[in-house]
Amino acid sequence: MSAAPPVENINIPLLPELFNPQTHRLDASRMANALGIPVGSVTATIGRKAEGVRKRPDAESLQTELGRLYRIWESMVELYAGNQTNARIFLNAPNRHLENKTPLALIKSGEFAALESLLAAMDLRQPA
C-alpha cells in the first residue's frame, strides 16, 4: 500500500472564487470580473461565442481554455503575494519584455505563450 502524498504536493486553487460553487468548474463570468474585463473579451480570447458562454459560463467544454487563462491570472496574483490589485496594475501596464504591450493586450489577442514565458521567468526570478 502506498503512502498518501505529502500535504505540500496537493494543489489547492489560489483563487477559489473563480470557480462555480455548485459545479466546481471555472466560470468565465467570474474570470472576466477578476480580470476587470467584459465577458465578451474573455469569450473572444478563448475563441468562443459570447452568447453561449453567457448562458453556461462554467460549461465543461470551456474548461481547457479557461484553465490556461486561470493559470496566467493565478501566476500574476501569486507573484504579488495574493494582492489582486497589484496584479491588475501589472496586467494593465506596458511591459518592456512584451514589446511594450500590456499583459492584458496579449490575453485579449490570445497570445498566451509570451506572457506565460515572462511569468515563468519572473517566478524563477530570471530575466525574460
- How much is the pLDDT for 95? 95
- How much is the pLDDT for 11? 62
**pLDDT tens digits, residue range 34-91?**
999 999 999 998 889 999 999 999 999 999 999 999 999 999 999 999 999 999 999 9
Q: How confident is the prediction for the chain on average, in pLDDT?
A: 89
- Mean pLDDT for 99-104 is 96
Query: What is the model's pTM?
Result: 0.84
- Mean pLDDT for 101-127 is 89
Cβ-count burial of 91 within 10 angstroms (0-12 exposed, 13-18 middle, 19+ buried)?
Answer: buried
Nearest to 53 by CA among 39, 34, 64: 39
**Spans of all domains in the chain:** 16-123
- How much is the pLDDT for 2? 56
Question: Exposed e or buried b for every residue in 74-87, given b needs 16+ CB within 10 A?
Answer: bbbbeeeeeebeeb
